[in-house]
Amino acid sequence: MTELHPEPLTARVMGTPVDRVDGIEKVTGLASYAAEQRVPTTTGPLWCWLATSTVARGRVVGVDRTAALAHPGVAAVVDHENAPRLAETSNGELAILQDDRVHFRGQIVALVLAETPEAAREGARLLRIEQDEEPFDAELREDNATYRPEKVNPAKETDTEQGDVDAAIAASDIVVEQTYRTAYEHNNPLEPHATTAWWSEEDGRETLTMYDASQGVHGVVAALAPMLGLEKDQVRVMAPYVGGGFGSKGEAHAHVMAAALAARTTAGRPVRVVMTRQQMFALAGYRTATISHFRLAAGRDGRLTAIEHRAQEQTARVKEFAEQTASPTRMMYAATNRRTSHRLAVLDVAVPSWMRAPGEMPGMFAHEVAMDELAETCGLDPIELRRRNEPLSDPETDLPFDTRRLLECFDRGAARFGWDARPPEPRATRDGEWWVGTGVAAATYPAMRMPGNVARVETLENGCVAVSIGAVDIGTGARTVLTQIAADALGVGPDDIDLRIADTALPMATVAGGSSGTSSWGSAIVAAAQELKAAHGDVLTPGLRAEASAVRGDEAEQFSFHSFGAVFAEVRVHRDTGELRVPRLLGVYNVGRVINPTTARSQFLGGLVMGLSAALFEESVRDPRFGHVVTQDLATYHVASHADVLGVEAEWLEDETPLFTPMGSRGIGEIGIVGTSAAIVNAAHHATGVRVRQIPMTADMFC
Ligand code: MOS
């Protein structure tokens, strides 16, 4: 395996709207997901039902299995008394069934294995699980969010301080001081989390094989193998098709361990776990609610002199996750004096995790509504305010941005949206019974490229080139885009690429997360292709092989790499009922080269829709008396439906960033959700004059 710094690629297939290479499988139902995979058994798998705790904190004092085991379909019950022991238990979320402790309501406390999913579910109902409840705290408040984590996701500073914020605020003509709140949100990919697992023996070595609905198969192995006392090569995970994740499948959650532990008790018979939609509200991660205290100080010309962002949010006592909510505030606008911090309430609740643009989404909601308030206070157009605060270099690191064409995004969006015709005053336009307004917000997302990715290329007898990397396509179009990259790197057509992904038997790949997948995997593929050509020349005869990983030069120390965007929204608010409608939403992005305009547009539109959904609907209502989320289904946890999504458009600047990846691209998966809720909230203010400082924004706030 070679490490090399790949040369920039010339785009031939990249940049064209190649149809999804797995489109036929997807639309004809041939694509098999984790719960549908055929397994090596004549009897079919045993179905595993997750029985969960009904107290927020306490102990399981007894499990009466008698009635469950008497059910004709039930094969076994696994609980903390008879579960296989783990070799390592430091990951509190995954170390299930090892002791009697209950850390949150909805935690897995027993597994029922049965011949059918119905029997497993009925068996779980027949279990008598006695629990002792202990005092707990499941409520995020300003007065209990005081714990200072060591780092925030993924490894960012918890607090930052530049200059003298307090002095700048004291000396300032204009100060906006407000608190902004975002709701708990739960990822709801179409495909619920599911795992099919079985143990076997090969050459006298135990092997665990799993089909898992995962955003990163290698990450699942890395998390589970040491806990199970296995070497990594004793665990194989595959995820050929995944029905969305949004971060909730970015790490193995407890049900994956449940499948592994249950399957260890069945003498080799496969076990299948499928989470219900309800269980996803306790076991698949979620976005913490956030409280953002902002202070912006500026001169009368709107130029910022100080920015302070103190974020409060929650984590779980059983495992820490600290959302990096104030991180975009560190690099977004010019201001000499700035302070950011994160404090957590450590609660007896389910474990929060990644949800599309963790940090940037709630943080930029707060920052961009605060900027709108500052524009109003200064009597400035909100786009002009951002123009006046555009930094010359990254305010956090002082490094130049490789590209930061944020103002071009605003200008292009303004022209397309008809921004010039906007009346500056709020509550200026009424159309019949509807107040009408428009608003903007900026978007940003860091460009991340993960080290350690390896790709293999092999020329085949049939004239194709096999390109192998253990990456996962969670529905984004990664398979298609990687095929395009490989075609350009090898100088062949996309039909000549035989792409092999989503299996830990293939070379190392990092998670489909942090908008880093295409950048990280694609760079490795380019490296492997260039290694092959360096060794064998341009004529690809059968039987050639190369394996490589891509290293970066010192660009990472010389430049700051971020993507940017401008989001425009039109909002209509009903005069009498407060009903909210978003007839127009437009995002204009600067993301480097767009490798496939069709799949990229889908990512942007999906992000914009998810931001709209967050602005108007999404809220997981937690009951602090019992510690759980009560809105545990799509009837009560509202996501935007078709009727809510009207005119949504996305475009992007022609651009490339060869300093970042040999493809010239940055990531695009998350930026679409960033800033969108703020643009909508700002537009509602422009329509009505009512300033909302929380999401979701609901009709009652306007009447
Ligand atoms: Mo994304 S929340 O990094 O899968």
d(CA 621, CA 625): 12
Please report the pLDDT score of residue 40 as a whole number.
Answer: 80
- Rounded to the nearest angstrom, the distance between the alpha carbon of 514 and the centre of ligand 1 is 5
- Residue 529 phi/psi, 5-degree rounding, is -65, -40
Whether 670 is catalytic: yes
| 512 CA closest ligand 1 atom index | 4
- Rounded to the nearest angstrom, the distance between the alpha carbon of 178 and the centre of ligand 1 is 29
| 355 CA closest ligand 1 atom index | 2
| 215 CA closest ligand 1 atom index | 4
- Rounded to the nearest angstrom, the distance between the alpha carbon of 358 and the centre of ligand 1 is 7
d(CA 80, CA 701): 48
Strands, E assignment, 411-538: 430-431, 434-446, 455-459, 465-468, 497-500
Please report the pLDDT score of residue 548 as a whole number.
Answer: 98
Pocket test residue of 356, 360, 449, 668 for ligand 1, highest count of atoms within 8 A of CB: 356
Preceding amide of 696 cis, omega within 30: yes
Please report the pLDDT score of residue 630 as a whole number.
Answer: 97
Contact yes or no for 294/181 (Cβ under 8 A)? no
3-state secondary structure of 483: helix
Q: What number is the ipTM of this complex?
A: 0.97
Contact yes or no for 286/318 (Cβ under 8 A)? no
Please report the pLDDT score of residue 684 as a whole number.
Answer: 98
Please report the pLDDT score of residue 202 as a whole number.
Answer: 85
> For residue 604, which amino acid is it?
F
Please list, in sequence order, all residues whose beta carbon lies within 8 angstroms of the beta carbon of residue 643, skipping any fewer than 6 positions away: none
Tokens of 87: 């070799």
Tokens of 621: 């209502």
- Rounded to the nearest angstrom, the distance between the alpha carbon of 382 and the centre of ligand 1 is 30
User: For the residues of 339-405, what is the DSSP string, one character each?
Assistant: EEEEEEEEESSPPP---SSTTHHHHHHHHHHHHHHHHHHHT--HHHHHHHT--SS-TTT-PPBS---
d(CA 454, CA 284): 28
d(CA 86, CA 226): 9
Tokens of 641: 């439906």
Contact yes or no for 180/372 (Cβ under 8 A)? no
- Rounded to the nearest angstrom, the distance between the alpha carbon of 448 and the centre of ligand 1 is 12
pLDDT (tens digit per residue) in 366-387: 999 999 999 999 999 999 999 9
From atom 4 of ligand 1, which residue's Cα is the shortest distance away?
247
d(CA 229, CA 293): 45
Please report the pLDDT score of residue 42 as a whole number.
Answer: 82
d(CA 371, CA 475): 35
- Tell me which residues have their CB closer than 6 angstroms to ligand 1: 215, 245-247, 250, 354-356, 358, 513-514, 670
Please report the pLDDT score of residue 511 as a whole number.
Answer: 98
Please report the pLDDT score of residue 43 as a whole number.
Answer: 86
Total length of the chain: 703
3-state secondary structure of 225: helix
| 187 CA closest ligand 1 atom index | 2
- Rounded to the nearest angstrom, the distance between the alpha carbon of 353 and the centre of ligand 1 is 9
Q: What separation in angstroms does the CA of 31 have from each of 18, 505, 630?
A: 19, 20, 34
Pocket test residue of 185, 187, 668, 670 for ligand 1, highest count of atoms within 8 A of CB: 670
| 247 CA closest ligand 1 atom index | 4
d(CA 314, CA 184): 10
Please list, in sequence order, all residues whose beta carbon lies within 8 angstroms of the beta carbon of residue 225, skipping any fewer than 6 positions away: 231, 232, 234, 235
Domains of the chain with bracketed CATH: 2-31+450-551 (3.30.365.10), 368-448+559-703 (3.30.365.10)
Q: Tally Cβ neighbours within 10 Å of residue 88.
A: 12
pLDDT < 50: residue spans in the chain = none
User: For the residues of 683-703, what is the DSSP string, one character each?
Assistant: HHHHHHS----EES--GGGG-
d(CA 486, CA 547): 13
